[in-house]
Chains A and B, each alone.
Chain A
Amino acid sequence: MYNIAFPQMGDYCVPAYFLLSNILDANIIKAPKITNKTIELGFKYSPDFVCTPFKYTLGTMIECLDMGADTLIQYGGGCRYGYYAELQEKILNDLGYDFKMINLVIEGRINLRRINKLLKQIDSKYSKIKSIYYSFITLKMIKYMDEIDDFIRENVGFEVVKGSFEKLKEEMLIKFGNVKSYHELKIIYRYFLNKFKCVKVYKPDDRLRIGIIGELYTLMEPFSNYYIEKELAKNNIEVKRFTNVDYLFLRKSKRMKKYLKNNPYVKYSMGADASDNVANCQYLCENGYDGIIHIKSSFCTPEIGVMQVISKIAESYDVPIMFFSFDGQSSETGFKTRLEAFYDMLEMRKNK
């Protein structure tokens, strides 16, 4: 029997674990939560100037391999992310680990036939039909999770009893991890959505609204952005974020095709989520948000390209914008000082 592990990102380990444990007869290893040890490991064995998500995921992989994993799963994307799997495999091999790397994306494409073949090697009884069914449930689960997260982001800063949203969400994720069918998932989702809507919130009309845009991993893994959303919520700020897995998988391509037509800011795709962020920035400016925060991991090339464009857009709409670059070693105090000054500034603007 194989021991399978995969890198960590936000809460998405729940649906990923659900999918793998249902379609494969294998031991799925739950990666430990990202801690300082993960980062130390990742930084030690990564090239210095690679983007930070590489270091985070490499750290998790080493931790998983030490826990006994022998098969690792990695995805790939439209920037340097596309080379993660190959390079990480090489680094880990050089470190003396013996394992198998399953790269879901090859040459920028997901080839289902190839993945089927790979999975068949792991589990000879693997069935295509079953995996289609569970993939469907998983995608729905991700969609529900993201919807709830959007709702939380808008309201968590105004909860009357501190911590009520977080507690409820933890409960929900445990329930989601144990569902058996689509029907059950739907019932649980409705139950929790109702509960979330019943949480007491006090939302003043003159509250600050901030949009967070930027590089996908830094946005979705709260440890890598020093829990920026929590920090904003602590100060009674409503947060809007576009990027989530549901968006990247299902809605992104359609939306961008439409956006890129006759656009004054970008004419062609800038790689990864760069042109999405131009669109998001424009949306935030046009919909009356008080400020924009752009976050990225250090050395993220597409986002560096986009910074000039969005600061121009923000300037033309007179919306303040703040840029943060995260690397595992940046100072948390410096970050918090700048963030505090940012919402102080927004508040002063609003009260004027």
Chain B
Amino acid sequence: MRDCYLGVDIGSISTKGVIIDDRNKIISSAYIWTEGNPIEAVRKLINILKKRMPRGYKVKGIGTTGSARKLIGLMLGANSVKNEITAHAVGTMAFHPDVRTILEIGGQDSKIILIKNGIITNYAMNTLCAAGTGAFLSSQAKRLGIDVEDFGEFALKSKNPVKIAARCTVFAESDLVHKAQVGYPKEDIIAGLCKSVVINYLNNVGKGKKIESPIVFQGGVSKNVGVIKYFKEVLGCDVIVDDNGHLMGAIGAAILSRKNKTGEEYELQTKNIKFETKGFECGGCANNCELLRIYKNGKLIDSWGSKCGKY
């Protein structure tokens, strides 16, 4: 029996999971939509991962990351629960040891991580709004009647991308509608959108950061060839897109769980475990904390959101 480690990255839009062996080789991976229900999504994910896992391996550690990391960490009994930034950097460095800059655009957040000699030296994340992230692109794809997966191909067809004001999602949308109504061809508008994502990203998240190559581009949006093209064009250098780019967070989580060394043996059984969350408002004082109580098999195991520590 060989040891292996499970990493789960539960994002706002998609849930990613990998199982790696002790040499960072991926032995099983899965990518599914979260659909607003992280608990169900992880249940599905684990089943898929188990089916794809070869025999002769034992899960020795579980790591979680992404916006639902705390909840899923509790559900799976993970031995490492880490933020996306650390997980992405650790995962990427395992495959590209010389990486200097990681560009990441996900469903609702975008971040930039600068690395020097194998350690993170600086990072930034979008703060106030989700302009120029995957959620914006997919909603615009719907408006134009195109699958978001085909978006990049369309963009490549264009020779003359239109300029779209991309500071703010709402304004970009009205600008886009205007350009469409004036009669610009679809591919020019799509190319313009892809370019605006790049420019918006570099102006907001990448502001004041020294971007040095090798550059690795990740996150769901890195599957969009149009965005890749404009990143290369604007930055004036090559941008590496890993085939496993969308899994880097999960890989990082798995590596972190291995490094943690506190993991026991896991069974990966999620079917028989009843996992529930209940929200309620405390009302004990004027804070009116919104509390979330988590039940495993009908037993209260944790509650979050209390400011005073009463719960």
Contacts and interface: CB of A to CB of B under 8 A. Distances in A.
Interface size band for B: 20 to 34
Nearest to B121: A320
Given A320-B121, A344-B82, A345-B120, A325 B286 contact: no
Interface in B277-292: 285-289
A352 B118 contact: yes
Contacts of A161: none
Given A311-B208, A334-B127, A344-B85, A36 B287 contact: yes
Nearest to A341: B85
Interface string A191-235: 000000000000000000000000000000000000000000000
Contacts of B67: 333
Contacts of A38: 286
B129 to A, nearest CB: 11
A222 to B, nearest CB: 11
Contacts, number: 53
Contacts of B289: 36
A36 B288 contact: yes
A100 interface: no
Contacts of B86: 340-341, 344-345, 348
Interface string A24-67: 00000000100111100000000000000000000000000000
Given A35-B285, A37-B288, A337 B121 contact: no
A37 to B, nearest CB: 4
Interface residues of A, number: 19
Nearest to B288: A36
B69 to A, nearest CB: 9
B286 A32 contact: yes
Contacts of A340: 82-83, 86
Contacts of A35: 285-287
Interface of B: 67, 82-86, 117-123, 125, 127, 208, 285-289
Given A37-B287, A349-B120, 16 more contacts: A35-B287, A36-B287, A38-B286, A311-B208, A334-B127, A337-B83, A337-B125, A341-B123, A344-B82, A344-B85, A344-B86, A344-B120, A345-B85, A345-B86, A345-B119, A348-B86
26 contacts: A35-B286, A35-B287, A36-B286, A36-B289, A37-B286, A37-B288, A333-B67, A334-B125, A334-B127, A337-B84, A340-B82, A341-B84, A341-B85, A341-B86, A344-B83, A344-B85, A344-B120, A345-B85, A345-B86, A345-B121, A345-B123, A348-B119, A348-B120, A349-B119, A349-B120, A349-B121
